[in-house]
Structure 1
Amino acid sequence: MDFNFTDEQTMLRDTLSRYLADTYNFDARQKVVHGGKGWNPAVWQAFAEELGILGAPFSEAYGGLGGGAVENMVVMEEMGRAIVLEPYLSTVVIGGGAMKHVGGDIADAVIPGIIAGTTRIAFAAYEPQGRFYLHDLATTLKGGQLNGHKAVVEGAAHATHLLVTARTGGAQRDAGGIALLLIPADAPGITRRDYLTVHGTSASEVYFENVSVGAEHVLRDDALPLIEAVVDEATAALCAEACGVLKVLHATTLDYAKQRKQFGKAIGDFQVIQHRLVDMFMEVEQAVSMTMMATLKLDTDERSAAVSMAKAKVGKAAKFVGQNAVQVHGGIGITQELAVGHFFKRATLIENQFGSVDFHLSRYEGIALAA
């Protein structure tokens, strides 16, 4: 695939890359992880005020940079290269993406806060029994009261708002009768159990008990098509993050193979290691191409199929490249002191975030059969 970035997109990438290289090195990131909060508020404000990247996919009318999905792809790949902890995906891609789809007064009220860094959104959609299925909902909104449980809600501990899916009618797995809500994270009746993920980000089990929800909090009724579109956009952005992670895993492993000596020569001189590194490179390049294709098709009728193809490919690449990176490094590849192990953790989590390889292969098969 021949794809060239515009001058503005290249500038966005280079600006973010320089900032992360200067201020977000491995040691600085580890201090944040050990701090137990799962993010650094100062970095988030720098993203908003110094770099302006929180406005990358938003119209200039909101004070953004006038970009879209490609700009999200550029930002997310660079964040993958530094395994950034801050909630760009949940706030800008998912929260901001939902606002762009909904439009109107609510978008006018929320998007400027996202761009300024003062509004942070956590996506409370998935439930323990539903796994990857967005329509499998036990959380209910009845009589203006929200009740239920959302699992592994990343960034909920430091979010100002929760983007919540809830059933307003029908059976638990019906496609209809699903509403999308935006509610204050500190609303009465909301409780959380916070923890750190293996990757180091903050996540929560979020419980709703008779939370009062007004009409102003309901973004859309019968919202499943909108929710699926937003999650597809987020999945494409996640694939871009994975590409950044995988590029670093391959480059780091290649450098190590040139330096590590065994039997009097660098292990990279052995043909079996060379073959493995070439296979890793091919997996990375294929993941990059599939991610670009999915990103470019987000506004077409082929969106769902393209995203599922990309996510399935990226999931396989994450497993292959991550495991081979650790194997070439040997025992030190899984130590806390070496960065490669942390990139491997992130690659492993990405395999299943927003759907596993099997889930997306099955989804693609269903789309193909229905066509």
Structure 2
Amino acid sequence: MTLTFTEEQEELRASLRRFLTDKSPSEAVRRWMEAEEGHDPALWRQMAEQLGLQGIALPEEYGGAGGGPVELGIVLEEMGRALLPSPFFATVALAGQALAASGDDAAKSRWLPGIAAGSLTATVAIAEESGSWRLEDVAATATTAPGGGWTVSGTKMFVIDGHTAGLLLVVARTGAGPGLFAVESDAAGMTRTRLDALDPTRRLGRIDLDGTPAVRVGPDGGADAAPAFLREALDLAVVALAAEQVGGAQACLDTAVEYAKIRVQFDRPIGSFQAIKHKCADMLLAVEAARSATYHAASVAAEGSAELPVAAALAGAYCSEACTHAAKENIQIHGGIGYTWEHDAHLYLKRAKSSEQLFGAPAAHRARLADLVGI
């Protein structure tokens, strides 16, 4: 296991940072978050055609670059730093990784090339009105249809980009336990509604399904258990989100430190005051610890280690709180201006608080971690 990056990976980070600095400045983020699409379709095409980002973690035989969780983590860390509004997380980190982990060659051949090319957006629908992200708590049902195939019924909540995605991978319960079912955007019996969300840079949707035709993806778990690939896909999503949170936390730290250097009070920069120094030092400690947890989890995932559930739970628990802490302290250090709509500090806090609840709150990750290590 290694927590260092290769020369190619460092170049990926550097080139993507330059790209996002140029293409996703603050004024562009604010424009896109107010737009009907919620992102810039032209930039989405550019990401696919010029940088190949949508295929970064997908197998080469399906049009991808053959990378893995480490490369995907680098991309998401930089996107989190730039606060990029984009269907990238839902399409690549959720749906792409779930399909790749499914072992279903037919499903991979059918949908992964479109994801890699940027012509298909997708997402995964897990949580329901209970707000739980546990696979065991899924209530939506899937039943066999007359003449073959499946139909899915139920309501899915907090689906990232669910109201616009071209493909929805829905977790639903069968007689043998939870499974994954692909639903096309134009399927009958489906109603999609955009939800009012705290984070204006990430759209969430509600999906109502009533006998909606679906295609089963991957095997069932048997004995009322979720298939192993579904749990793996959820762990990979948690690690990917942690990488994005590290990028956001780092941006908050950088902004706070820079402001502390130039804001003068009582004839001296506020960064010279001990209270501000302590805040910045605590932020640095939290960010670096979160980075270590995330890089470790990504390395474990890349190696296919059985340690992935533990590493993912640890990263999910720590990085969510670290990102929120950094975003709050950033506002505190900026003082009055940090509370204004014109400043970007509130956008990072809203992203941090929203992401903190995705795939389970920190307390849920800690509880899972305790169970996994036998506490």
TM-score after normalising by structure 2:
0.92
Mean CA deviation greater in 33-42 or 299-308:
33-42
- Would the aligned equivalents of 1:156 and 1:185 in 2 still touch at CA under 8 Å? no
Counterparts of 1:293 and 1:179, CA distance in 2: 29
Separation in 2, partners of 1:224, 1:335: 47
What are the within-5 Å matches in structure 2 for residues 85-234 of structure 1?
85-103=85-103, 104-144=105-145, 145-169=151-175, 177-200=177-200, 201-213=202-214, 216-222=215-221, 223-234=226-237
Equivalent-residue separation in structure 1 for 2:340 and 2:37 (angstroms): 22
Higher mean Cα deviation, 335-344 or 236-245? 335-344
**Structure 1 runs not aligned, ≥5 long:** 170-175
Give the stretch that moved more between structures: 181-190 or 333-342.
333-342
The runs of 5 or more residues in structure 2 that have no matched partner are 146-150
- The answer to whether the 8 Å contact 1:38/1:196 transfers is no
Q: How does 1:44-59 map to 2 (within 5 A)?
A: 44-59=44-59
What SS does structure 1 have at the residue aligned with 2:66? coil
Alpha-carbon separation, structure 2, partners of 1:227 and 1:153: 16
Q: Which amino acid aligns with 1:221?
A: D
1:218 Cα offset (Å): 3.9
Q: Distance in 1 between matches of 2:179 and 2:106?
A: 18
Post-superposition shift, 1:142?
2.0
Contact 1:182 1:219 in 2 (8 A): no
* SS in structure 1 of the partner of residue 136 of structure 2: coil
Offset, 1:268: 0.6
Distance 1:132 1:106, change over 3 A: closer
Deviations 1:8-39 (A, max 9, x none): 21222222111111111010111111224322
In 1, distance between residues paired with 2:296 and 2:3?
A: 10
> Are residues 1:344 and 2:345 paired?
no
**Amino acid across the alignment from 1:163:** L
Determine whether 1:14 maps to 2:39: no
1:240 aligns with 2:207: no
Whether the aligned pair in 1 keeps the contact of 2:219 and 2:227 (CA below 8 Å) is no
- RMSD between aligned alpha carbons? 1.7
Q: Summarize deviations over 1:102-132 as a string: whole Å, max 9, x none.
A: 2412212211100111111121111112513
Match of 2:77 in 1: 77
Aligned-pair CA distance for 1:154: 1.1
CA–CA separation in structure 2 for the residues paired with 1:335 and 1:272: 23
Q: How far off is 1:196 after superposition?
A: 4.7
Deviation string 1:299-346 (CA, Å, 9 cap, x unpaired) is: 211111111111111122123212111111112213221112211211
TM-score, structure 1 normalization = 0.93
On the 8 A contact 2:140/2:154 being kept in 1, the answer is yes
Other structure's SS at 2:359 match:
coil
Question: How much has 1:272 moved relative to structure 2?
Answer: 1.2
Name the CA distance, whole Å, in 1 between partners of 2:134 and 2:63.
35
Separation in 2, partners of 1:243, 1:147: 37
2:71 maps to a residue whose letter is: E
Distance 2:336 2:273 in 1: 19
Asked if the contact 1:39–1:202 (Cα under 8 Å) also holds between the matched residues in 2, the reply is no
1:202-245 deviation per Cα after TM superposition (whole angstroms, max 9, x unaligned): 211110011123xx444332244221110110110110001110
Distance 1:226 1:302 in 2: 15
Aligned to 2:266: 263
CA distance 1:218–1:248, change in 2 (3 Å): closer
Instruction: Name the CA distance, whole Å, in 2 between partners of 1:364 and 1:256.
Output: 37
Q: Give the match's secondary structure for 2:335.
A: helix
C-alpha distance in 1 between matches for 2:36 and 2:30: 10
Q: Say which is worse superposed, 296-305 or 220-229, in terms of deviation.
A: 220-229
Measure, in 1, the Cα distance between the counterparts of 2:141 and 2:61.
36
Determine if contact 1:181/1:220 at 8 Å carries over to the other structure: no
The 2-side partners of 1:3 and 1:226 are apart by: 25
Greater alpha carbon shift after TM alignment, 188-197 vs 21-30: 188-197
Letter paired with 1:293? H
